[in-house]
Structure 1
Amino acid sequence: MLEFKFDTQLLIEGHDLSEDKIHDYIMDNIAGDCLLAVGDEELIKIHYHTNTPWKVLEYCASLGEIHDIVVENMERQSQGLQG
């Protein structure tokens, strides 16, 4: 069984975005692992494994427009099912 079962991915589009601030906030406030927060001041790609993907979406939506959202259940995928 996976400790964090949801693979959460999205793009944040906004102004004055900071990879470091976003990374630090997520790591400090939302349990999970395998965080990637990469991009520039106008577009950041997020990839994170967590059990509470809605918290990631809520936080990211507070920073700008979110899109290309994918939340997949990795436990189902490991069983050969669609995530």
Structure 2
Amino acid sequence: MLLYRFDTQLLIEGNGLSEDEIYENIVKNIEGDCLLVVGDEKLIKIHFHTNEPWKVLEYCASLGDIHDIVIENMERQANGF
């Protein structure tokens, strides 16, 4: 059984984005693991395992335009679905 069920990935486009600020905010406010925040001040890629992917989407949407959103149920993948 996985501790965090959903692999959440997306891109954020905006102005003045900060990898460090985004990373710290997600770690502080959303439970999960395997967080990657990579990019520059105009485009950030997020990868995060969590049970609450909607919180990631809501936060990231507050920063800019979100797209290329992928949320995969890793438990289903592990079970061969």
Q: Same fold (TM over 0.5)?
A: yes
Question: What are the within-5 Å matches in structure 2 for residues 59-78 of structure 1?
Answer: 59-78=59-78
The count of aligned residue pairs is 81
TM-score by length of 1: 0.97
2:6 aligned residue: 6
Q: Which amino acid aligns with 1:58?
A: E
Moved over 2 A (4+): none
2:20 aligned residue: 20
Q: How far off is 1:52 after superposition?
A: 0.1
Structure 2 residue 40 is matched with structure 1 residue 30: no
Q: Secondary structure at the match of 2:55?
A: helix
- Provide the C-alpha distance between the structure 2 equivalents of 1:34 and 1:24, rounded to a whole number of angstroms: 13
Please tell me the root mean square deviation across aligned C-alpha atoms, in Å.
0.2
Q: How far off is 1:3 after superposition?
A: 0.4
TM-score by length of 2: 1.00
- Provide the C-alpha distance between the structure 1 equivalents of 2:45 and 2:32, rounded to a whole number of angstroms: 16
Q: Secondary structure at the match of 1:57?
A: helix
Counting aligned pairs with the same residue, the percent is 74
Q: Which runs of 5 or more residues in structure 2 are unaligned?
A: none
